Amino acid sequence: MNKKGLAILMRTRMKPNSPVNPTKFPISLATTNKMLPNSEGKEPTKQISAEDEDPDFDQKLKAPVNPKRLFELVRERMHSAISMNKTEIQDTVLSDFSEGYYGLSSEDRCKLLMVLGKDYDLNRTHVHDLMKQYLGLQLPAGDKGEIGDEDDSSLSTFYRTEKNLRHALQPTYEVLFDRLNTHPGGLKFLSVLRADILSTIREHNTPSLRALDSYLKEKLITWLSPAALELHRITWNDPASLLEKIVAYEAVHPISSLLDLKRRLGVGRRCFGYLHPAIPGEPLIFIEVALLKDVAQTIQEVLWDDPPILECDATCALFYSISSSQPGLTGINLGKFLIKRVIELVKQDMPQICTFATLSPIPGFMRWLISKLALQSKLAEADTLERSCSSKETAGSAFREDVLTTEEESQVLDKLGVSTSRKNGIEVILELLKSPNHEWSKSDEVLSVLKPILLRLCARYLLQEKKRGKALDAVANFHLQNGAMVESLNWMADRSEKGLSQSSGIMVNYIYRLDNIEGNAQSYFSSGRVSAASNLWRLVEQIQLAPR
Amino acid sequence: MNKKGLAILMRTRMKPNSPVNPTKFPISLATTNKMLPNSEGKEPTKQISAEDEDPDFDQKLKAPVNPKRLFELVRERMHSAISMNKTEIQDTVLSDFSEGYYGLSSEDRCKLLMVLGKDYDLNRTHVHDLMKQYLGLQLPAGDKGEIGDEDDSSLSTFYRTEKNLRHALQPTYEVLFDRLNTHPGGLKFLSVLRADILSTIREHNTPSLRALDSYLKEKLITWLSPAALELHRITWNDPASLLEKIVAYEAVHPISSLLDLKRRLGVGRRCFGYLHPAIPGEPLIFIEVALLKDVAQTIQEVLWDDPPILECDATCALFYSISSSQPGLTGINLGKFLIKRVIELVKQDMPQICTFATLSPIPGFMRWLISKLALQSKLAEADTLERSCSSKETAGSAFREDVLTTEEESQVLDKLGVSTSRKNGIEVILELLKSPNHEWSKSDEVLSVLKPILLRLCARYLLQEKKRGKALDAVANFHLQNGAMVESLNWMADRSEKGLSQSSGIMVNYIYRLDNIEGNAQSYFSSGRVSAASNLWRLVEQIQLAPR
């Protein structure tokens, strides 16, 4: 692989939804056209190779395909793929369907998925019949409904009916998923399908689409069980086609250059990915590790500043990036098993490593903070207005809360209030944080005032802000449920545009302590308790908030 | 790997049910004993590493385990593995369970599996409640029970209840299977579990065990989908631990020596196996291929006689052995995908190969023939006896059939009848075939008379004898449903003890013709029609049977 080749590679961003084999696509379509002179034909016909029969075949390849006609063909192929019985040979139909699908516009994909969710659902009449039959069977005694002695024939009927019901309750589209899963390239295609379902739901949030998504997700979880995944150490010796995926899918700290990529795979660094045999050469998820003397506090020192140390001197493995390559696998936690296995592997390889930590972004902090501040500012305004009219408690007061401490409030007003026309600390901070190009981050005076305030609020965000009992921040939730603890917050640890927008430049170290992983995970799951260093807990507890 | 090492390896036959890591087993037990001082404790306790705490640990390793106590421990671990909630850490419980299970006697395994099938079944009361709730929902109009317009809230209820029902209809033991599947070594363990279920069923054929088996089989089919399997070419460079498996599991033509194994992996030969990432180093199924000028007619020429030809001169790939290593995967057709992929691979690698054939055993022929002959002989006897009493049709006559042609009958009596006291052809043949040490196969005279008769009956057996619409012979059924055709029968093609007992030495060539694979498979599936060479059809059709 020469430098020029890689330079080209760097410019080419993979489109996740691009066809597996784009060159094959028009061939298949031409064949499909030939096979089905009109779209009324319902029977899946046996495929005839167009090359064998048609001297003008090459011409047809170049003919543009009418989108409406393509949609009908794909829809029909989908129907065949579902309805043909299992003794029929499905390969060509499945290839036609998936290759045709890749050629559809996003509107047509969306339309097709809605058809799939609605028209290939359960046969509810059949389900009803079976249920009535089941309820008619003599339920044996016992409070849990267990079966006592084994009375052969009646028991067999029970088990048979239950099996039938189980099958009848599976939606018709399950057949399509199962068949695609055993088809070459099918698992990858199913992950694309799920990504499209998720984006369709964003626009048309119908119950049938949600059910389609939930069912496909369950199936993908089964197929992508960690037992089927292989941990692969990705190195500079891997094929460019694989490295290209790393460049394309790195979601945390974009890879800026050839040198950057090479360094992330070189001395003092590790990169591991989970590969599935059915999606070769494309890690489903990968993790980047830096071998260091101490836990790094800024991403700059990991990515750019320091030359790597001797690996034998390293005592800390720092996970600084985890990215998933398949938007269609959203909600399927592959990372959990990955981190666990990477820790085992590194430990085995380098027993002197005793600290396993992360340097992680806090993607939701600024969004949360700004909306919290904005709400409080509005409520305060309304409050003042209403108070001037009546002396009663005001309508919004239930949502009022004190975000700043008395001391912070006066610090902000004293040192930063002069330059603005704002009359309280919240409004001053809000205006600063919203300033274009993160101007606030360029003044030492502003930084010195904001630093303790933002760090405290960030600790509150990570340790206390929850949604359905889980940490509001997605990355925090990921590491906490894997058994990590919040170790420390690092000021100005990521000065990139992304770092400043997401978390005012703050980054966090989560630590995986081998002895506590199981205990931490369990207490997080059962009580929602976040494990964190004591100084972080002190930051959020026992503070004096400014009176309203 | 030296010669001595491999010689030792050759003598060691793998026990399929041996523990994955036998040395670990006593450690875990000692730990288990320590963790659970009495078997009444119901809560899964957190595992403490015994090494850390117990200076007498090594002593305990050697202590024998009381079988009854072990059974109780394993049963309790099984209960914990099923009943703990998903937020608890399951690794130690699952390890304890599987390692303990490997230490159980076969009676105890059987007992445990019956408990699993019966006590961890469905919660039928819950199922009943959900069904009543479901039937209470307003079923939308439409003959198939489809849902018309998307009425959000009522539809959501429908989908939710269906999902709940689907889950409630899954037996409780599904949790155990799912958890084991994601546990290291768990998939292999599940395959051992299924093998044990199958052998338990042979003795206690209860409905709950059948349901347990059928459910686990369905799960294994999902997890072992071809998408998760990797095709690996097995060579002499593979680790001895893998080659040992080939020696241990070769089920068709046992590997007799180091030289034999080396030759099967050397020039002019191929061996391919399907590996699953969760069961490393152990092909689930493997196929042996000989590269030849023509389709071989005897196994001797494949295994011993001829030195291999130059690979570039080969025009035929002969599949001469397919073996599965996991008795727990019985009924799961992995071979179908294997043959298909091996053909593709060989074709790609050596385009000059144009014939894909097998040289296959006919494992059920003699068993079928002898029981058929014995039945006819008995019926004939009873017939003669009854005829002498009355002139009516006799009771057994509905089952009477003429096995030999007139000509065959007289040939047998003329040439072979003298040496026996038997009075009809069937009895003569029966006596010869049952003679000890296959004496019949050592006389040229006997062979010359039996050859056409046995070949004709063998053709009838392969082409016409069915069970539930499928070929009675398991190997025939396997190849026919994969799309092969019966090409020719070969007399004295396997003179080994096994070959003579199974099929009087006859072997069969099935041929995979690329153009006809799909068509053959389809017509076999839909009508049970066996594709076979025309001379074989002539053998079984238009024959004149001897009158009764």
pLDDT tens-digit series, residues B353-376: 999 999 999 999 999 999 999 998
pLDDT band at residue B277, thresholds of 50, 70 and 90? confident
pLDDT at A89: 62
Contact (CB, 8 A) for B403 and B372: yes
Interchain contact, B144 vs A163, CB within 8 Å: no
Residue B277: list chain A partners with CB under 8 A.
227-230, 277
Residues of chain A found within 8 Å of residue B124, distances taken between Cβ atoms: 139-140, 144-147
Picking from A87, A125, A181, the nearest residue to B225 by CB comes out as: A181
Q: Which CATH class is domain A227-358?
A: alpha beta
What is the C-alpha to C-alpha distance for residues A89 and A437, in angstroms, rounded to an integer? 60
Give me the pLDDT at residue A27, please. 31
- Catalytic option among A28, A479, A504, A531: A479
Q: What is the mean pLDDT of residues B505-534?
A: 91
- The answer to whether residue A150 neighbours chain B at the CB level (below 8 Å) is yes
Q: Does A522 touch chain B (CB under 8 A)?
A: yes
Which of A139, A159, A225 is closest, CB to CB, to B223?
A225
From CA B127, how far away is CA B164, in angstroms rounded?
9
pLDDT of residue A12: 34
Q: How distant is the Cα of B315 from the closest Cα of chain A, in angstroms?
A: 24
Task: Say which amino acid occupies B535.
Answer: N
The pLDDT value recorded for residue B452 is: 94
How near does any CA of chain A get to the CA of B539, in Å? 29
C-alpha B289/C-alpha B321 separation (Å) is 7
- Over range B208-232, report the average pLDDT: 90
Q: How many helices (H) and strands (E) does chain A have?
A: 24, 9
* A10-121+171-223 CATH: 1.20.140
Spatial distance between the Cα atoms of B127 and B251, rounded to a whole number of angstroms: 45
Q: Does domain B14-121+171-223 have CATH number 1.20.140?
A: yes
Sequential DSSP letters for B485-548: EEEEEETTS--SHHHHHHHTT-EEEEEE-TTTHHHHHHHHHHH-PPPB-HHHHHHHSS--BPP-
Gap between the Cα atoms of B261 and B294, Å rounded: 23
Q: What band does B387 get if pLDDT is binned at 50, 70 and 90?
A: low
Subunit contact B128:A139, Cβ cutoff 8 A:
yes
Position B382 scores a pLDDT of 80
Whether B183 is catalytic: no
What burial letters (b/e) apply to B13-48, b meaning 16+ CB within 10 Å?
eeeebebbeeeebbbbbbbbbbbbeeeeeeebeebe
| CA proximity to B484, closest of B444, B450, B524, B455 | B524
Q: Which residue has the higher pLDDT, B378 or B362?
A: B362
Which of A177-186, A371-380, B40-49, B268-277 is the least confident region? B40-49
Q: What is the mean pLDDT of chain B?
A: 82
pLDDT at B34: 33
A309 in reach of chain B (CB within 8 A): no
Q: What are B119-137's pLDDT values in tens digits?
A: 998 888 899 999 998 988 8
Closest-CA residue of B relative to A179 is B225
pLDDT for A150 equals 55
Question: What one-character DSSP code corresponds to residue A15?
Answer: P
- Scanning the structure block, which residue is given the tokens 């703050």? A506
Cβ neighbours around A276 below 10 Å, total: 23
pLDDT for residue A545: 58
Q: What do you get for the CA distance between the two ends of chain B, in Å?
A: 65
Residue B158: is its pLDDT beyond 90? no
Cα separation values, B89 from A477, A514, B212, B357, B459, Å: 17, 14, 26, 51, 59
Asked if B165 has any chain A CB less than 8 Å from its own CB, the reply is yes
Is the fold of B227-358 the same as that of B365-540?
yes
Domain ranges of chain B: 14-121+171-223, 227-358, 365-540
Greatest CA separation for chain A: 90
Please check whether residue A23 touches B, CB under 8 A: no
List CB contacts (< 8 A) between A214 and chain B: 163
**Residue scoring higher pLDDT (B258 or A50):** B258
Kindly report the CATH class assigned to A365-540.
Answer: alpha beta
Q: Which of B324, B325, B360, B377 is catalytic?
A: B360
Cα separation, A523 vs A368, whole angstroms: 25
C-beta separation of B286 from B335 below 8 A: no
What pLDDT shows up at residue B88? 62
Residue B542 has pLDDT above 70, yes or no: no
Active site residue B126: no
Q: Which residues contact B338 (CB under 8 A, 6 or more apart)?
A: B231, B272, B274, B285, B287, B322
**Which residues 180-209 on chain B approach chain A with CB closer than 8 angstroms?**
181-182, 186-187, 206-208
Chain B residue whose CA is closest to A158: B207
Whether the pLDDT of residue B143 is over 80: the answer is no
Contacts of A186 in chain B (CB under 8 A): 227
Question: Is residue B469 a contact partner of residue B528, using CB atoms and an 8 Å limit?
Answer: yes
Q: For residues A179 and B16, which has the higher predicted lDDT (pLDDT)?
A: A179
Q: How far is CA A35 from CA A38, A55, A89, B519, in A?
A: 9, 16, 16, 17
Maximum CA pair distance of chain B? 90
Instruction: For residue range B162-182, list pLDDT tens digits in order.
Output: 999 999 999 999 999 999 998
Q: Distances from the Cα of A56 to the Cαs of A30, A34, A96, in angstroms?
A: 11, 12, 20
Indicate the Cα dihedral angle A460, A463, A468, A470, nearest 10°: 150
pLDDT at B330: 87
Give the closest-approach CA distance of A222 to chain B in angstroms: 7
Most confidently predicted of A177-186, B41-50, B376-385, B411-420: A177-186
Does B9 have pLDDT greater than 60? no
Helix (H) or strand (E) holding B417: none
* B contacts of A169 (beta carbons < 8 Å): 162, 165-166, 169
What pLDDT sits at residue B39? 36
- Asked if residue B365 lies in contact with residue B461, where contact means CB atoms within 8 angstroms, the answer is yes
pLDDT score for B170? 92
Q: How many A/B residue pairs have CB atoms within 8 Å?
A: 172
User: Is A491 an 8 Å CB contact of chain B?
Assistant: no
Give the distance from residue A145's alpha carbon to the nearest chain B alpha carbon, in angstroms. 5
Query: CB neighbours of A341 closer than 8 A, spacing ≥ 6?
Result: A231
Distance between CA atoms of residues B181 and A270, nearest Å = 28
Q: Give average pLDDT by consecutive 10-residue segment, chain A, 548 residues.
A: 40 36 35 35 36 40 72 94 76 90 95 95 89 80 48 79 92 93 90 96 92 94 85 93 92 85 91 92 94 90 79 93 90 84 92 95 96 89 72 61 86 79 83 90 92 96 94 94 94 93 96 89 89 93 59
Q: What is the C-alpha separation between A461 and A473, in angstroms, rounded? A: 8
What is residue B140's predicted lDDT score, i.e. its pLDDT?
A: 54
Query: CA of A152, closest CA in chain B: separation in Å?
Result: 6
- The residue-averaged pLDDT of B137-145 equals 54
Residues 379-398 of B with CB under 8 A from A: none
Return the number of other C-beta atoms located less than 10 Å from residue A164's C-beta. Answer: 16
Q: Which of A47, A146, A154 to mutate to test the interface with B (most CBs of B within 10 A)?
A: A146
Q: How many CA atoms lie within 13 A of A48 on its CB side?
A: 10
Write out chain B residues lying below 8 Å of A155, CB-based: 206-208
CB A166 to CB B170 under 8 A? yes
The closest CB to that of B150, out of A128, A206, A229, belongs to A206
For residue B87, what are its two tokens?
């937020």
Mean pLDDT of the B480-484 span: 92
The residue with greater pLDDT, A261 or B307, is A261
Catalytic residue of the set B79, B253, B276, B479: B479
Chain B nearest-CA residue for A519: B89
